[in-house]
Amino acid sequence: MKFLLKMILSAIAVLVLAEILPGVRVDSYMSALIVAVLLAILNAIVKPLLIILTLPVTIVTLGLFLLVINAAIILMADHFVSGFGVNGWLWALIFSVLLSVFQSILYSILKKDKS
């Protein structure tokens, strides 16, 4: 139940950010939900592998390269979901940062309601 609620909140965040950012588009609510699920899967499977493979670069850049990895994950989701589009690396980077902030706020509200 908690996973489903997090996916719905992530889909809402994707929809809101697609409306705010001109370089990001989402065609439907279902596409936003698919993007949220796919991002969860990519963050669980692909992101740890990318972090391990790029560890020296991440250390040299003091962790800032993780932003590039997040943008790459967003672009992978763009490639796999037909109803979701991101126009380039810069928009993917901005989208990933704002999505992280937005999800943190939504998840903290979710935790406050439970306690």
Count the neighbouring beta carbons within 10 Å of the beta carbon of residue 28.
11
Residues 6+ apart with CB under 8 A from 77: 35, 38, 39, 42, 84
115 vs 82, higher pLDDT: 82
Q: How confident is the model at residue 115 (pLDDT cuts 50, 70, 90)?
A: low
Query: What is the tens place of the pLDDT at every residue in 61-78?
Result: 999 999 999 999 999 999
Query: What average pLDDT does the structure give for the chain?
Result: 93
Query: What is the tens place of the pLDDT at every residue in 35-54?
Result: 999 999 999 999 999 999 99
Q: What is the pTM of this model?
A: 0.90
d(CA 86, CA 4): 25
Handedness of CA 14, 37, 109, 68 (dihedral sign): negative
